[in-house]
């Protein structure tokens, strides 16, 4: 049975309790970050998924668990402060690529701290590149939060890092048709908002926009 986010956070309660002691003793941010770096994530947090860029699997922590833990530790004002998709470039083989850069602010009891995450998107065509940006944004957030250290999965994949989002060679139309299902699967408002620019682009129908707006209302009401 899939564990809920609340249950997953309970599995890290000893970690949160220790960090609460740091707060009470007025420890500085460097000491807190050093301790977080030495921690291992609870086993229940770890997912093992097929790699998109090479044979085998990689280990990861769901983004909703990472962000909920950040807010639990650093304060509920923590979150994304900017997302930027760099201008696409085309290589000699005709493939397009772009960097997605995310700024994430930790704003709370241990003082302000800024993280920067980057993910690379590749596609055989410019339209597919645009469709991949929302997923790349989530990956960039993960890459930002992993910098915090062991508790956030920094050392789960020592030999390989899943930093590249590869767009498979399928038609743009197929990707557009799958977009409503992708939107319905989103579990947090933060992840849903990464689809906003794409959903309201000229190539997307009003029906897809309606699915987005419905999911927005559902998540906002939770």
List pLDDT tens digits, range 144-185.
Answer: 999 999 999 999 877 555 454 554 444 445 556 777 888 888
The dihedral sign for the CA sequence 162, 129, 132, 182: negative
Is the CB of residue 142 less than 8 Å from the CB of residue 63?
yes
Give this prediction's pTM.
0.70
Per-residue pLDDT reduced to its tens digit, 111-129? 788 999 999 888 888 778 7
Please answer whether residues 59 and 41 qualify as being in contact, where contact means their C-beta atoms are separated by less than 8 angstroms: no
Q: Are the C-beta atoms of residues 83 and 48 closer than 8 Å to each other?
A: no
Q: Which of 50-59, 100-109, 208-217 has the lowest mean pLDDT?
A: 50-59
Residue 67: name the closest of 144, 175, 7 by CA. Answer: 144
What domains are there in the chain, each with its CATH number? 5-169 (3.30.390.80), 170-222 (no CATH)
Q: What percent of the chain has pLDDT over 70?
A: 88
What pLDDT score was predicted for residue 113?
A: 87
Phi, psi of 192 (to 5 degrees): -60, -40
How far is Cα 219 from Cα 189, in angstroms, rounded to an integer?
6
């Amino acid at each position: 049975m899939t564990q809920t986010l609340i249950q997953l956070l309970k599995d890290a309660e000893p970690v949160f309790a220790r960090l609460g002691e740091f707060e009470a003793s007025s420890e500085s941010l460097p000491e807190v970050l050093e301790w977080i770096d030495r921690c291992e994530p609870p086993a229940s947090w770890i997912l093992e998924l097929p790699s998109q860029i090479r044979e085998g699997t990689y280990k990861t922590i769901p983004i909703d668990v990472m962000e909920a833990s950040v807010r639990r530790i650093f304060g509920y004002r923590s979150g994304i402060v900017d997302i930027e998709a760099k201008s696409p470039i085309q290589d000699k083989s005709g493939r397009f690529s772009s960097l997605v850069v995310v700024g994430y602010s930790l704003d709370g009891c241990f003082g302000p701290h800024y993280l920067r995450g980057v993910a690379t998107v590749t596609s055989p065509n410019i339209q597919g590149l645009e469709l991949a940006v929302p997923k790349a944004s989530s990956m960039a957030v993960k890459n930002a939060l992993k910098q915090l250290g062991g508790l956030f999965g920094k050392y789960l994949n020592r030999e390989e890092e899943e930093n590249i989002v590869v767009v498979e060679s399928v038609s743009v139309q197929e990707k557009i048709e799958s977009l409503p299902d992708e939107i319905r699967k989103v579990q947090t408002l933060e992840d849903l908002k990464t689809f906003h620019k794409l959903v309201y682009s000229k190539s997307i129908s009003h029906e897809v926009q309606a699915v987005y707006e419905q999911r927005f209302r559902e998540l906002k009401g939770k």
